[in-house]
Amino acid sequence: MIESSSTHNSPTILPGTNPVVIVGAGPGGSVAALALARQGIRSVVVDKATFPRPKPCGDVITSQTLRVLERLGLDPSNNLPLVRAQATWGTTCIAPNGKAVDVSFKPLHKETEIPSCYTLQRASFDNYLVEQLRANPLIELREGVGVKDAQHVDQQWQINMADGTNLPDTKLLLLASGCNSSLARQISNQSLPAIAKEDDRHFGVGLRGYFRDKGGWRQAGMPEFYIMRELMPGGLYLTPLANGLVNVNMVMRRDYVLKNGINLRDRFWEVLASHPTLSKRFAPDTLEGQLQGSSLSFGTIKRGNAGNGLMMIGDAAGLIDLLSANGICNAVMSAEIAAGVAVQAIQHQDYSMAFLGNYDSLLDQKLGNELKLGRLVSPFLGNERLFGLFEGVLNFVASRVQGGSVLSQLLYHPDVSKLLRSPSFYKQMVWG
Ligand SMILES: Cc1cc2nc3c(=O)[nH]c(=O)nc-3n(C[C@H](O)[C@H](O)[C@H](O)COP(=O)(O)OP(=O)(O)OC[C@H]3O[C@@H](n4cnc5c(N)ncnc54)[C@H](O)[C@@H]3O)c2cc1C
């Protein structure tokens, strides 16, 4: 049986608290509601979609997400396989010269053999979380109607729905409405102090299609990540799924796409058709359904994500890692942090930006290392003259016997910038 988070702890409802309103029931919004419920805080979660709903993604669920689920009392190693998640123990990176490096993942906990990564279609993963919302008496879920706009008046949010109805006023709004959300722009303009001007370097565009699996994997069950000149700055990812489909997805930085007038769909098919092995594995007639596109908001700049009565979560806060395109983990981690700050705000009855600003500091402390490498390399990735240098470094690393352990250090080191300043890291890269 799938475990429900509502079966853990018996929360005490704090007296005199209005429900927190959460916009968006993706991983960020759902986890925020579940984390609040575990502290006895009621919430209303609204999503314009009805679940299960599709979401363009690479469908890779990484260790940080699994740890958050564990802390919510949801046991991912038991529950996720029941919704057809498939454990994976590593990933293969294919350099521009076609040389491949396998990077192994460590188990979730040192002393066990619990997997630290799963692949699972987002429609199923997000629906699994939404089922937890439905089962929780402290959470009211409203699906199928979006929030049109919201005004902050007399320290309360007045929220208007697209169908003309209203939500109850709230002192605290958690915005988890994803990337490129017009609502997030409308709200942040009135509540956040100084948001960074939208800059295409900090955004990406992505496409995803599900293909019938014709095999050809370098390692059975392991996602493959292709870095190619035609996709720089960006990459192509293949994710094997338990249901016999392969998620083929591609991400590129938006500034480069716009500057060069790239049509993403054309580029997607060109890359597949011209590749010596991918062309045999992913012909257009093996595509199931349609290609679907989506934006990505990279955590390559620090944004202010707390305002008066407001915290932004996940993609709405711009927290996707530039190098891996992983954003689910930072969405759920930011949700957990926001819920913690919300509990304190409710206890102190202080919803001011000064108080909620603690959220921004905690985001920086807890996600800073995750996002550091992306922030370090981002300025160079925009420079086309450096593409050749990048290609050279990647080809070199992929050709080394120790290539996998070099990449694995980048994945697991507690302080990536310290690692990159260490001569022994480069010594190991060159001599093994
Ligand atoms: C091609 C591609 C590949 C990716 N691959 C991966 C990967 O493999 N692993 C990974 O970790 N991340 C990946 N990501 C990133 C990941 O998809 C996001 O970071 C993640 O979905 C963020 O979750 P979220 O809850 O913040 O937002 P979302 O999942 O986008 O949820 C936002 C929700 O808000 C709702 N909403 C929006 N506006 C309104 C409104 N006005 N009113 C009510 N509801 C509203 C939407 O319907 C939606 O359900 C990928 C992204 C792309 C585009």
331 Cβ below 6 A of ligand 1: yes
Rounded (5°) CA angle 240-102-208: 30
Give 50-106 as a DSSP string: -SS----S--EE-HHHHHHHHHTT--HHHHHHHTT-EE--EEEEE-TTS-EEEEEPP
> Across 154-231, where does the E strand assignment appear?
156-161, 173-175, 203-212, 224-226
Res. 21: pLDDT tops 60: yes
Q: How far is Cα 394 from Cα 429, in angstroms, rounded to an integer?
A: 11
pLDDT of residue 400: 72
Res. 240: pLDDT tops 80: yes
Q: Which atom of ligand 1 is nearest to the CA of 207?
A: 1
Share above pLDDT 90 across residues of the chain, in percent, rounded to a whole number: 69
pLDDT of residue 271: 97
Q: Torsions phi, psi of 199, nearest 5?
A: -130, 120
Q: Which of 392, 258, 239, 410 is nearest to 321 (CA)?
A: 410
Residue 50 three-state SS? coil
Question: Residue of the nearest CA to atom 17 in ligand 1?
Answer: 57
Residues 278-284 have a mean pLDDT of 96
Q: Which of 135, 169, 129, 131 is nearest to 152 (CA)?
A: 169
Residues 324-335 have a mean pLDDT of 96
Residues 156-171 have a mean pLDDT of 94
pLDDT of residue 169: 93
Q: Out of 300, 320, 370, give the residue to mutate to test ligand 1, the one with the largest number of ligand atoms within 8 Å of its CB.
A: 320
Q: How far is Cα 53 from Cα 126, in angstroms, rounded to an integer?
A: 8
Residues 279-298 have a mean pLDDT of 96
29 Cβ below 6 A of ligand 1: yes
pLDDT averaged over every residue in the chain: 89
177 Cβ below 6 A of ligand 1: yes
> How crowded is the C-beta side of 204, counted as CA atoms within 13 Å?
34
Whole-number Å distance, alpha carbon 331 to ligand 1 midpoint, is 9
Residues 135-140 have a mean pLDDT of 97
Structure tokens given for 250: 């591609």
Give the long-range contacts of residues 348-352, CB within 8 A, separation 24 or more.
Answer: 351/155, 351/171, 351/172, 351/308, 351/309, 352/308
* Residue 360 neighbours by CB distance under 10 Å: 20
pLDDT of residue 197: 55
Q: Looking at this protein, which amino acid is placed at residue 85?
A: A
Q: Out of 57, 249, 371, give the residue to mutate to test ligand 1, the one with the largest number of ligand atoms within 8 Å of its CB.
A: 57
Q: How far is Cα 202 from Cα 198, in angstroms, rounded to an integer?
A: 8
> Using 50, 70 and 90 to split pLDDT, how confident is the model at 62?
very high
**pLDDT higher at 148 or 402:** 148
User: Residue ranges of the alpha helices (H) in 227-357?
Assistant: 254-259, 264-274, 278-281, 328-348, 353-356
Q: What are the Cα distances from residue 61, in Å, to 58, 122, 380?
A: 9, 9, 28
Angle between helices 63-71 and 328-348 (to 10 degrees): 30
Q: Which of 140, 125, 113 is nearest to 74 (CA)?
A: 125
> Using 50, 70 and 90 to split pLDDT, how confident is the model at 402?
low
Q: How far is Cα 168 from Cα 163, in angstroms, rounded to an integer?
A: 15
Q: In residues, how long is the chain?
A: 432
Prediction pTM value:
0.92
Q: What is the CATH number of domain 5-84+117-198+300-374?
A: 3.50.50.60
Q: Which of 161, 45, 48, 62 is nearest to 103 (CA)?
A: 62
pLDDT of residue 3: 52
The winner for highest mean pLDDT among 12-16, 75-79, 403-407 is: 75-79
Res. 64: pLDDT tops 60: yes
> Across 306-410, where does the E strand assignment appear?
306-307, 310-312
Residues 375-400 have a mean pLDDT of 79
Res. 7: pLDDT tops 50: no
Whole-number Å distance, alpha carbon 426 to ligand 1 midpoint, is 36
> Using 50, 70 and 90 to split pLDDT, how confident is the model at 408?
confident
Res. 1: pLDDT tops 80: no
- How do beta strands 43-47 and 139-143 pair? parallel
pLDDT of residue 403: 63
Q: What is the CATH number of domain 203-297?
A: 3.30.9.10
**pLDDT higher at 110 or 290:** 290
Q: Are 185 and 277 in contact (CB under 8 A)?
A: no
Q: Are 359 and 342 in contact (CB under 8 A)?
A: no
372 Cβ below 6 A of ligand 1: no
What are residue 102's DSSP bridge partners?
A: 92
Q: For the chain, what are the domain ranges?
A: 5-84+117-198+300-374, 203-297, 376-431
pLDDT of residue 84: 95
Q: Are 298 and 318 in contact (CB under 8 A)?
A: yes
58 Cβ below 6 A of ligand 1: yes
Least-confidence region, from 12-21, 53-62, 143-152, 163-172: 12-21
pLDDT of residue 390: 78
Residues 384-411 have a mean pLDDT of 74
Residues 317-340 have a mean pLDDT of 96
Residues 84-97 have a mean pLDDT of 93
205 Cβ below 6 A of ligand 1: no
Residue carrying the six token digits 């320290």: 155
171 Cβ below 6 A of ligand 1: no
299 Cβ below 6 A of ligand 1: no
Question: Residue of the nearest CA to atom 6 in ligand 1?
Answer: 58
Q: Out of 145, 237, 305, 328, give the residue to mutate to test ligand 1, the one with the largest number of ligand atoms within 8 Å of its CB.
A: 328
pLDDT digits (tens, 9 = 90+) for 294-307: 999 999 988 889 99
Whole-number Å distance, alpha carbon 128 to ligand 1 midpoint, is 15
pLDDT digits (tens, 9 = 90+) for 264-279: 999 999 999 999 999 9
Whole-number Å distance, alpha carbon 266 to ligand 1 midpoint, is 24
> Using 50, 70 and 90 to split pLDDT, how confident is the model at 8?
very low
Whole-number Å distance, alpha carbon 179 to ligand 1 midpoint, is 7
CA R_g for the chain: 22
Least-confidence region, from 96-105, 282-291, 334-343, 409-418: 409-418
Whole-number Å distance, alpha carbon 27 to ligand 1 midpoint, is 8
Res. 202: pLDDT tops 80: yes
> Across 298-393, where does the E strand assignment appear?
306-307, 310-312
Structure tokens given for 284: 């257009």
CA 195 to chain centroid, in Å, comes to 21
pLDDT of residue 306: 95
Res. 13: pLDDT tops 60: no
Res. 126: pLDDT tops 70: yes
